[in-house]
Amino acid sequence: EVLLVQSGAEVKKPGESLKISCKGSGYSFTSYWIGWVRQMPGNGLEWMGIIYPGDSDTRYSPSFQGQVTISADKSISTAYLQWSSLKASDTAMYYCVRPSRSGWPFDYWGQGTLVTVSS
Amino acid sequence: DIQMTQSPSTLSASVGDRVTITCRASQSVSSWLAWYQQKPGKAPKLLIYEASSLESGVPSRFSGSGSGTEFTLTISSLQPDDFATYYCQQYNSYSWTFGQGTKVEIK
């Protein structure tokens, strides 16, 4: 069974750094792209970026380029989403996702990680 | 970037109603269009991919159609479990965009 298991909720202050994780299991981690989707409170879904763990090829949405860093450690089948300096506007639910079908829909989703940034 | 526009933003309907949600792309996305259902506090769930292919386990009352820039999601007979928010999503050259969502409410 394919599973994406994310790290737990975080509460941070503005200016702090953060790295959240998504561990894949039940499949060959290096063979599938894995991405991140943001959902701000009461809002819709926004695709942030995606990485291919096999060679670390990474693509970002223009809206998130330079704002976050996506990485992966294939030795532990884990993808990461990282901020160097959080803002209150980063408060959101973050989902990791895996496209695997023709047409590239996100057919697997993690359970979500809630990030709260507040002074 | 390709923009996706859904209509309506909110839809009030009754159990048994036929419901249609429209999604328009700012440029052609061929058939690279998916639909998701999201309930409060839950991760989205894939319903339809490649515009009209039903995801395994999804009830047959859900169907998708369209190509190019105009797409529709139809629920043939709305059930109590279907009250949720629905999103369309396009894929093009390692870039994905979601529509703003359509909330289906109880009338």
- Chosen for mutation from B50, B95, B96, B98 (greatest number of chain A CBs closer than 10 Å) is B96
Centre a 10 Å sphere on the Cβ of residue B84 and count the other Cβ atoms it contains: 18
Kindly state the average pLDDT of the residues B71-96. 96
Query: So what's the pLDDT on residue A100?
Result: 86
Round the average pLDDT of chain A to a whole number and report it: 97
Query: So what's the pLDDT on residue A87?
Result: 98
Across the interface, do A105 and B94 touch by the CB < 8 Å criterion?
no
Residue A19: pLDDT above 90?
A: yes
Cα A115 from Cα B8, distance rounded (Å): 30
Per-residue b or e along B49-69, where b marks 16 or more CB atoms closer than 10 Å to that residue's CB: bbbbbebeebeeebbbebeeb
Which amino acid, residue B86?
Y
φ/ψ of residue A97, rounded to 5: -140, 155
Query: So what's the pLDDT on residue B69?
Result: 97
Query: So what's the pLDDT on residue A8?
Result: 98
* Percent of chain A residues topping a pLDDT of 70: 100
CA separation (Å) from B50 to A3, A76, B33, B35? 23, 32, 5, 9
Question: Are the C-beta atoms of A115 and A14 separated by less than 8 Å?
Answer: no
Query: So what's the pLDDT on residue A73?
Result: 97
Please give the torsion angle defined by the CA atoms of residues A74, A8, B42 and A53, in that order, rounded to the nearest 10 degrees: -10
Cβ neighbourhood burial of A75 (10 Å; 0-12, 13-18, 19+): exposed
Across the interface, do B97 and A47 touch by the CB < 8 Å criterion?
yes
Q: Which pair of tokens denotes residue B52?
A: 């009209």
pLDDT digits (tens, 9 = 90+) for B15-38: 999 999 999 999 999 999 999 999
B51 — pLDDT class (breaks 50, 70, 90): very high
Query: So what's the pLDDT on residue B1?
Result: 87
Residue A31: pLDDT above 90?
A: yes
B12 — pLDDT class (breaks 50, 70, 90): very high
A13 — pLDDT class (breaks 50, 70, 90): very high
Task: Match 């991405």 to its residue by tokens.
Answer: A35
Peptide bond into A62 cis (omega under 30): no
B61 — pLDDT class (breaks 50, 70, 90): very high
Count of A–B CB contacts within 8 Å? 67
DSSP A9: P
| B56 CB within 8 Å of a chain A CB | no
Residue A101: pLDDT above 90?
A: no
pLDDT digits (tens, 9 = 90+) for A39-86: 999 999 999 999 999 999 999 999 999 999 999 999 999 999 999 999
* Percent of chain B residues topping a pLDDT of 70: 100
Query: So what's the pLDDT on residue A102?
Result: 80
Task: Match 């792309």 to its residue by tokens.
Answer: B25
Chain B: give the shortest CA distance to residue A6, in Å: 12
Query: So what's the pLDDT on residue A78?
Result: 98
Residue A103: pLDDT above 90?
A: no
CA separation (Å) from A54 to A26, A98, A104? 16, 14, 17
